[in-house]
Amino acid sequence: MFVTILGRLQQYSPVSSTCTLKECQKVKKVENTDEIGQIIHRDFLDPFCESYVLVGEGETALGDNYLKFEDEVKKFEMRDSDIIVASYPKAGTTWTQEMVWLIGNDLDFKAAEEHLDKRFPHFELCTIVDFQKMKDTLGATRPEFVGNSLNYIRNQDGVRYIKTHLPYDLLPNQVLTGTKLPRIIYVMRDPKDVCVSYFHHGRLIQGWRADFENFSKVFLSEKIMFGSYWKHVLGFWEQRHKPNILIITYEDMKIDLLGVIRKVAEFLNKELPEEKIPQLLKHLSFESMKNNRAVNQQDKIESRKKHKLVPEDGAFMRSGTSQSYKGEMTEELVSKFDQWSKQYISHSSFANDPTAALYLNSAQKTTKM
Ligand code: A3P
């Protein structure tokens, strides 16, 4: 059934991109000429994301729909009061968003009943797939915080909570130049767990059809959507000394959530109401988030299933553990990942951080950062 619907959608005539020729020439397209390109064309592209382009200095792989918004993203007016959670996909973004939002809003659990995507919109979401085409083809309408996320955020009052998966070099110019100083909390996670989680997410939500072997090849080739994991992490890592940037890890949240909560509260200049901390810890637990429709993305999953756009069934809050890759990756693949990681880490001061050893599978982390 899934294949039949996709077959029908392939016939939909593409809308032309609105980028100027000059803008279009700046980016390279991922062609169908080598093994990785063939996997991407066969198992990742669909009528709502018809090709991948490599954008910016880091040649970040993004859907071609991004080109329509490239200028708008770069020129976006930031505010010093903005609070951004940035991450590579599947690094624990949702968990971090819920923690940051609650700390920023004095642990207002009642207000947190509103959908997270509305409270904490995803900046470049409208660039990922062609939502207009989705609406025209499937009749699937999306709220503004999805279909026109940039506009939704632009018009928000007060403190804006913004999620992004864009790498550092693709953030709005005002962030790069320091003209505006939004606070940025960057969360990272072991790339092997990220890859496994991204694989399941891709089949559950994005409609990607690759098996794990092919998915991990594309991930390691750095042409997966949002590009190179290590360029992403190290891009933010290099900015860590700036007072408006805080880096945290998924693994620390697993080991010592309260410690991370206190670090984030200090970064945001927030006093925590101590009597509500037990409720916060419970609210942020995996079990509680898994059953919380405001954060568990169940509505998105149900909508994808309704339109038969995805090949897999499951939950967004899937395993919620560290090193679960050990059950899904062969030793050979683990070793490939570690070789690839070493090449990046050895040229970076990140090598001296205890997290590096953890991500290289060469040490168990026992101390708090
Ligand atoms: P798994 O797929 O490994 O389970 P993101 O929000 O960046 O997409 O990341 C999703 C990952 O974070 C998923 O990982 C999800 O289960 C995990 N996650 C979300 N909330 C969590 C929580 N409260 N505790 C632990 N892991 C959580």
| Model confidence pLDDT, tens digit, residues 96-155 | 999 999 999 999 999 999 999 999 999 999 999 899 998 898 887 889 999 999 999 999
pLDDT for the residue numbered 8: 33
Residues with CB under 6 A from ligand 1: 87, 89-95, 193, 197, 200, 284-286, 289, 317-320, 324
Contact criterion met (CB below 8 Å) for 102 and 280: yes
Residue 23 pLDDT grade (very low, low, confident, very high; cuts 50, 70, 90): low
pLDDT for the residue numbered 7: 36
Q: Give the residue-averaged pLDDT of 176-195.
A: 98
List of residues 6+ apart from 193 with CB closer than 8 A? 90, 250, 322, 323, 324, 325
How far is the C-alpha of 226 from the C-alpha of 218, rounded, in Å? 12
Q: Is 313's pLDDT higher than 80? A: no
Residue closest by Cα to atom 25 of ligand 1? 320
50 in helix, strand or coil? coil
94: CA distance to ligand 1 center in Å? 7
Residues taking part in catalysis: 165
